[in-house]
Amino acid sequence: MASTSSFFITLVLFLFFLHLSCFFNNLNAKHILTKNHSHQHQHTKNPSSNPRLYSAFLALQAWKRVIYSDPNNFTTNWIGPSVCTYHGVYCAPSVDDPKVTVVAGIDLNFGDIAGFLPNELGLLSDLALLHLNSNRFCGIVPIAFKNLTLLYELDLSNNRFVGPFPSVVLSLPSLSYLDIRYNEFEGPLPPQLFNKTLDAIFVNNNRFSSSIPSNFGQSKASVLVFANNKLGGCLPESIVNFADTLEELVLINTIISGCLPQQVGSLYKLRVLDVSFNQIVGPIPYSLAGLSHLEQLNLAHNEMSGIVPSGVCELPSLANFTFSYNFFCEEEGICQNLTSKRIVFDDRRNCLTEKPLQRSTKECNAILEHPVDCFELCCPKDGGFGTNVTAGSVAIPTASIPAPMPVSAPLLAPSYP
């Protein structure tokens, strides 16, 4: 009897503890379920008390959805609302409230990423820097970029963008550095481009055609690179307006013609002047002897003639002087021995009778028998860079000159901090 009573008490205690254990397990499960539901609910709301970062989150997620190839895994960690931890995304204090963190920069250079730019990128209103060099982005630049009012640097170079000049960039009030080279943009360059206070303009290696607008000289840029586009016309006297700013002017293979105006000699800050592979005629302006900061001068593959002036060869900073494939017939003074000044030079295929690798007498006579008077040449008002009484568009036939060839190496942009 005592044994039965003991068994009964043990059974009751076992059932009691089993019931108690189930009660606590159910309570704990309910707590975990409630916690998980609450956690999930938080992710469906604004994941941050910072609405600017939330907008950036929406923009970057929309962008990731239209990225179709990312072989270097640049965007692999673009997961969740912590956008400041995304690869290539840089956050900083807001310019209007240092206590607020914002997405201030995106750098996906050399990512080899394929996709396009969605309209949602207009939500990145605090963006100051956007670098997308050397990818496979295609399509057009979205009009929503007009909301990027703080954008200071825009580099879309070496991609597959198409269409006319992306006019939306003209509405960006803070833009200083514009690089759209090595794309498939086409059509004319808009005059408004030269009214903006841009410091550097790179539009080379696209499909731009027609002439550079007549207000070209209104720009205050320090670097202008237009190479490998079909622009035409001649260099205007208004280039003198660049005197206080211009340091690099690159017009390789742009089909410009006429004479180089004397006003080029007023660009006293100029370090690089490259007008090679064009249809420029006439002599080297003596005014170039005043360019004391000039380091590189390339006049190759044109139809220039006359004397190579010693004043140019004696420039104190000159390190590279290329004037091959022209019709120069004489080198003054030190120009005959530039090696003594340790200047890298190329004078091949001219009419310099005492130098090797020159043109034939027949080639030279065909040109030199018809000297060019730049004062009698002028650009037509409806073509080229605009009216210019000392630089003309009337060029000697180009049959004797090799066809312009595109530059094989990229034209590198200057380094910016």
Give the pLDDT score at 212: 75
- Edge-first strand order for the sheet with 200-202 is 89-93, 101-107, 129-131, 153-155, 177-179, 200-202, 223-225, 248-250, 272-274, 296-298, 320-322, 344-346
Cα(193)–Cα(97) distance, rounded to whole angstroms? 32
Cα(322)–Cα(298) distance, rounded to whole angstroms? 5
Q: What is the largest CA-CA distance in the chain?
A: 141
Q: What is the DSSP string of 208-250?
A: E-SPPPGGGGG---SEEE--SS---SB--GGGGGGTTT--EEE
Cα(298)–Cα(199) distance, rounded to whole angstroms? 23
Indicate the pTM of the whole model.
0.81
Give the pLDDT score at 48: 55
- Sign of the CA dihedral with 282 first, then 285, 288, and 289 last: positive
Domains and CATH numbers, the chain: 48-157+168-179 (3.80.10.10), 188-381 (3.80.10.10)
Range list of H helices, 305-357: 310-313
Beta strands 272-274 and 344-346 are unpaired
Cα(201)–Cα(400) distance, rounded to whole angstroms? 33
Give the pLDDT score at 87: 98
Cα(292)–Cα(274) distance, rounded to whole angstroms? 16
Mean pLDDT of each 10-residue bin along the chain, 417 residues long? 44 42 44 37 52 97 98 98 98 96 98 98 98 98 98 98 98 98 97 95 95 84 97 88 96 96 96 98 96 98 97 98 98 95 97 96 93 77 42 34 36 40
CB-count exposure of residue 2 (10 Å: 0-12, 13-18, 19+): exposed
Give the pLDDT score at 33: 33
Give the pLDDT score at 299: 98
DSSP 159: S
Give the pLDDT score at 380: 53
Cα(19)–Cα(11) distance, rounded to whole angstroms? 12
Cα(70)–Cα(100) distance, rounded to whole angstroms? 31
Structure tokens at 31: 């707590």
Region for 234 from its dihedrals, namely left if φ exceeds 0, alpha if ψ lies in -120 to 50, beta otherwise: beta
Structure tokens at 347: 């004078």
Q: 148: number of CA atoms within 13 Å, CB side?
A: 28
- The residue with tokens 């019709």 is 327
Specify the amino acid at residue 117: L
